[in-house]
Amino acid sequence: MPNNNSYYSIESKSTDEVLLENINYWKEVHKEIDTILKDIRGLILLTHNSIEFTDIVDFLKKVRPGQFLNILYISLTRSYDFMTLVLQRKPLAEKRIFFIDCVSGYAFPEEEQKDDCLYHKPPYNLEELKKIINFGIEKAEPEIIIIDSLSQFINFSKPTEQEINELYKFLNSIKEDTLNVIQNTFILLYDTRLGTMQNLPKLSTDLILKIEVVKEEARWKD
Protein backbone atom coordinates (compact mmCIF):
# COMPACT_ATOMS: atom_id res chain seq x y z
CA MET A 1 0.00 0.00 0.00
CA PRO A 2 1.51 3.38 -0.95
CA ASN A 3 2.30 5.82 1.79
CA ASN A 4 0.09 8.90 1.39
CA ASN A 5 1.38 10.76 4.43
CA SER A 6 3.12 14.07 3.89
CA TYR A 7 5.66 15.57 6.28
CA TYR A 8 6.99 19.09 6.57
CA SER A 9 9.88 19.85 8.92
CA ILE A 10 11.37 22.99 10.39
CA GLU A 11 14.68 23.05 12.23
CA SER A 12 15.38 25.81 14.72
CA LYS A 13 18.12 26.46 17.25
CA SER A 14 17.37 27.60 20.80
CA THR A 15 20.17 29.76 22.15
CA ASP A 16 18.99 29.28 25.73
CA GLU A 17 18.76 25.50 25.88
CA VAL A 18 20.75 24.62 22.76
CA LEU A 19 18.06 22.40 21.29
CA LEU A 20 17.33 21.22 17.80
CA GLU A 21 13.63 21.37 17.12
CA ASN A 22 11.94 19.47 14.33
CA ILE A 23 8.29 20.20 13.63
CA ASN A 24 6.52 17.67 11.44
CA TYR A 25 3.21 18.57 9.80
CA TRP A 26 1.19 15.53 8.73
CA LYS A 27 -1.82 15.27 6.46
CA GLU A 28 -3.83 12.29 5.26
CA VAL A 29 -3.38 13.04 1.56
CA HIS A 30 -0.14 13.78 -0.24
CA LYS A 31 0.14 17.53 -0.75
CA GLU A 32 2.71 20.14 0.09
CA ILE A 33 1.85 21.62 3.47
CA ASP A 34 2.80 25.16 2.45
CA THR A 35 0.29 24.98 -0.41
CA ILE A 36 -2.40 23.75 1.98
CA LEU A 37 -1.81 26.47 4.57
CA LYS A 38 -1.52 29.21 1.95
CA ASP A 39 -5.25 29.06 1.26
CA ILE A 40 -6.59 27.05 4.19
CA ARG A 41 -10.30 27.41 4.99
CA GLY A 42 -13.06 25.41 6.61
CA LEU A 43 -13.24 23.41 9.83
CA ILE A 44 -9.80 22.06 10.76
CA LEU A 45 -8.74 19.71 13.55
CA LEU A 46 -5.08 20.39 14.39
CA THR A 47 -3.63 17.65 16.58
CA HIS A 48 -0.25 18.03 18.28
CA ASN A 49 2.03 16.51 20.89
CA SER A 50 2.02 19.30 23.47
CA ILE A 51 3.36 22.10 21.29
CA GLU A 52 4.36 25.44 22.76
CA PHE A 53 2.67 28.70 21.85
CA THR A 54 5.81 29.67 19.92
CA ASP A 55 5.14 26.70 17.63
CA ILE A 56 1.55 27.85 17.15
CA VAL A 57 2.85 31.29 16.14
CA ASP A 58 5.15 29.64 13.57
CA PHE A 59 2.15 27.72 12.25
CA LEU A 60 0.02 30.87 11.99
CA LYS A 61 2.75 32.63 10.02
CA LYS A 62 2.26 30.00 7.31
CA VAL A 63 -1.52 30.38 7.28
CA ARG A 64 -2.55 32.55 4.31
CA PRO A 65 0.68 34.59 4.29
CA GLY A 66 0.50 38.10 2.91
CA GLN A 67 -3.10 38.58 4.03
CA PHE A 68 -4.13 40.91 6.84
CA LEU A 69 -6.38 38.77 9.02
CA ASN A 70 -8.21 39.09 12.32
CA ILE A 71 -7.90 36.02 14.55
CA LEU A 72 -10.12 35.18 17.50
CA TYR A 73 -8.05 33.01 19.86
CA ILE A 74 -10.05 31.40 22.67
CA SER A 75 -7.57 29.98 25.15
CA LEU A 76 -8.45 27.37 27.74
CA THR A 77 -4.82 26.41 28.40
CA ARG A 78 -2.59 29.53 28.26
CA SER A 79 -2.93 32.97 29.79
CA TYR A 80 -3.12 36.21 27.86
CA ASP A 81 -0.05 37.56 29.68
CA PHE A 82 2.05 34.56 28.63
CA MET A 83 0.92 34.63 25.00
CA THR A 84 1.56 38.36 24.62
CA LEU A 85 5.11 37.87 25.94
CA VAL A 86 5.66 35.29 23.20
CA LEU A 87 4.23 37.63 20.56
CA GLN A 88 6.56 40.42 21.67
CA ARG A 89 9.47 38.15 20.69
CA LYS A 90 7.78 36.62 17.64
CA PRO A 91 5.25 39.15 16.30
CA LEU A 92 2.61 38.28 13.71
CA ALA A 93 2.98 41.36 11.53
CA GLU A 94 0.11 40.62 9.13
CA LYS A 95 -2.32 39.14 11.64
CA ARG A 96 -4.13 40.73 14.57
CA ILE A 97 -5.14 38.42 17.42
CA PHE A 98 -8.02 39.10 19.77
CA PHE A 99 -7.82 36.82 22.82
CA ILE A 100 -10.47 35.46 25.11
CA ASP A 101 -8.55 34.28 28.16
CA CYS A 102 -10.45 31.52 29.96
CA VAL A 103 -7.40 30.62 32.06
CA SER A 104 -7.29 33.89 34.03
CA GLY A 105 -11.06 34.28 34.10
CA TYR A 106 -11.27 33.64 37.84
CA ALA A 107 -8.53 36.18 38.60
CA PHE A 108 -9.98 39.01 36.50
CA PRO A 109 -13.64 40.07 36.32
CA GLU A 110 -15.30 39.47 32.96
CA GLU A 111 -16.07 43.17 32.59
CA GLU A 112 -12.34 43.95 32.76
CA GLN A 113 -10.99 43.97 29.25
CA LYS A 114 -8.09 45.18 27.14
CA ASP A 115 -8.04 46.34 23.55
CA ASP A 116 -7.08 42.84 22.43
CA CYS A 117 -8.38 40.62 25.22
CA LEU A 118 -11.45 39.68 27.22
CA TYR A 119 -11.38 37.54 30.35
CA HIS A 120 -13.98 34.82 30.76
CA LYS A 121 -14.52 31.94 33.15
CA PRO A 122 -13.75 28.58 31.50
CA PRO A 123 -16.73 26.88 29.84
CA TYR A 124 -17.89 23.62 31.38
CA ASN A 125 -19.16 22.13 28.13
CA LEU A 126 -19.24 22.69 24.38
CA GLU A 127 -22.57 24.48 24.54
CA GLU A 128 -21.06 27.14 26.80
CA LEU A 129 -18.02 27.31 24.52
CA LYS A 130 -20.29 28.06 21.56
CA LYS A 131 -21.73 31.06 23.44
CA ILE A 132 -18.20 32.37 24.08
CA ILE A 133 -17.39 31.92 20.39
CA ASN A 134 -20.44 33.93 19.34
CA PHE A 135 -19.55 36.65 21.84
CA GLY A 136 -15.98 36.78 20.53
CA ILE A 137 -17.15 37.03 16.92
CA GLU A 138 -19.21 40.11 17.77
CA LYS A 139 -16.17 41.74 19.40
CA ALA A 140 -13.40 40.79 16.97
CA GLU A 141 -15.11 40.16 13.60
CA PRO A 142 -12.47 37.53 12.82
CA GLU A 143 -11.69 35.63 9.65
CA ILE A 144 -10.01 32.86 11.67
CA ILE A 145 -11.21 31.34 14.95
CA ILE A 146 -8.93 29.15 17.07
CA ILE A 147 -9.93 27.03 20.07
CA ASP A 148 -7.08 25.99 22.37
CA SER A 149 -7.96 23.31 23.21
CA LEU A 150 -10.58 20.71 22.36
CA SER A 151 -8.74 18.41 24.79
CA GLN A 152 -10.64 20.11 27.61
CA PHE A 153 -13.87 18.47 26.43
CA ILE A 154 -13.03 15.10 24.91
CA ASN A 155 -10.35 12.42 25.07
CA PHE A 156 -10.09 10.74 21.67
CA SER A 157 -8.22 7.78 23.17
CA LYS A 158 -11.32 6.67 25.09
CA PRO A 159 -14.29 8.91 24.29
CA THR A 160 -17.67 8.18 25.81
CA GLU A 161 -20.75 7.96 23.63
CA GLN A 162 -22.06 11.16 25.21
CA GLU A 163 -18.80 13.01 24.45
CA ILE A 164 -18.89 11.88 20.82
CA ASN A 165 -22.53 12.91 20.39
CA GLU A 166 -21.90 16.32 21.95
CA LEU A 167 -18.81 16.83 19.79
CA TYR A 168 -20.62 16.04 16.54
CA LYS A 169 -23.48 18.32 17.56
CA PHE A 170 -20.96 21.10 18.26
CA LEU A 171 -19.07 20.59 14.97
CA ASN A 172 -22.28 20.57 12.95
CA SER A 173 -23.42 23.79 14.63
CA ILE A 174 -20.07 25.41 13.77
CA LYS A 175 -20.50 24.47 10.12
CA GLU A 176 -24.11 25.58 9.97
CA ASP A 177 -24.09 28.70 12.17
CA THR A 178 -20.51 30.01 12.43
CA LEU A 179 -18.59 29.39 9.22
CA ASN A 180 -19.49 31.84 6.47
CA VAL A 181 -17.90 34.16 3.93
CA ILE A 182 -16.21 36.24 6.66
CA GLN A 183 -15.59 33.69 9.42
CA ASN A 184 -14.20 31.17 6.97
CA THR A 185 -11.60 29.27 9.00
CA PHE A 186 -12.14 27.45 12.30
CA ILE A 187 -9.20 25.63 13.91
CA LEU A 188 -9.57 23.25 16.84
CA LEU A 189 -6.36 22.31 18.67
CA TYR A 190 -6.11 18.88 20.30
CA ASP A 191 -3.26 17.53 22.43
CA THR A 192 -2.41 13.91 21.55
CA ARG A 193 -0.53 13.28 24.80
CA LEU A 194 -3.85 12.05 26.22
CA GLY A 195 -3.32 8.78 24.33
CA THR A 196 -3.74 7.08 20.96
CA MET A 197 -6.50 8.80 19.05
CA GLN A 198 -9.62 6.90 18.03
CA ASN A 199 -12.96 7.98 16.56
CA LEU A 200 -11.58 11.13 14.97
CA PRO A 201 -14.37 13.29 13.50
CA LYS A 202 -13.27 12.88 9.88
CA LEU A 203 -16.74 13.31 8.42
CA SER A 204 -17.49 16.50 10.37
CA THR A 205 -14.20 18.28 9.64
CA ASP A 206 -12.78 19.53 6.36
CA LEU A 207 -9.18 18.78 7.26
CA ILE A 208 -7.16 16.99 9.93
CA LEU A 209 -3.55 18.10 10.43
CA LYS A 210 -0.98 16.77 12.84
CA ILE A 211 2.04 18.65 14.20
CA GLU A 212 4.82 16.71 15.87
CA VAL A 213 7.53 18.58 17.75
CA VAL A 214 10.68 16.57 18.41
CA LYS A 215 13.41 18.13 20.56
CA GLU A 216 16.85 16.70 21.06
CA GLU A 217 20.17 17.94 22.39
CA ALA A 218 22.42 19.54 19.82
CA ARG A 219 25.97 18.28 19.35
CA TRP A 220 27.26 21.80 18.84
CA LYS A 221 27.14 24.96 20.85
CA ASP A 222 27.93 28.53 19.85
Q: What is the pLDDT of residue 35?
A: 86
Do 65 and 96 meet the contact criterion of CB atoms below 8 Å apart? no
Is residue 40's pLDDT more than 60?
yes
Which residue range forms the structural domain that includes residue 177? 39-206
62 plus 146 within the same structural domain = yes
Global pTM reads: 0.82
In a domain, 180, yes or no: yes
Is residue 112's pLDDT more than 90?
no
Q: What is the distance, to the nearest Å, from the Cα of residue 113 to the centroid of all Cα atoms in its chain? A: 22
Q: How confident is the model at residue 212 (pLDDT cuts 50, 70, 90)?
A: confident
Look up residue 170 and give its amino acid.
Answer: F
Is residue 57's pLDDT more than 50?
yes
Do 102 and 128 meet the contact criterion of CB atoms below 8 Å apart? no
50 plus 121 within the same structural domain = yes
116 plus 159 within the same structural domain = yes
* Total count of domains within the chain: 2
In a domain, 175, yes or no: yes
183 plus 80 within the same structural domain = yes
Q: What is the pLDDT of residue 8?
A: 41
70 plus 169 within the same structural domain = yes
Residues 155-166: tens digit of each pLDDT: 998 899 999 999
- Mean pLDDT (whole number) for 84-100: 96
83 plus 122 within the same structural domain = yes
In a domain, 160, yes or no: yes
Residues 168-190: tens digit of each pLDDT: 999 999 999 999 999 999 999 99
Q: What is the pLDDT of residue 202?
A: 87
In a domain, 65, yes or no: yes
| Better-scored residue on pLDDT, 60 or 49 | 60
For residue 48, give Cα distances in angstroms to 121, 208, 209: 25, 11, 9
45 plus 78 within the same structural domain = yes
Q: What is the pLDDT of residue 110?
A: 62
In a domain, 212, yes or no: no
104 plus 129 within the same structural domain = yes
129 plus 146 within the same structural domain = yes
Which of 13-17, 211-215, 217-221 tops mean pLDDT?
211-215
- The residue count of the chain comes to 222
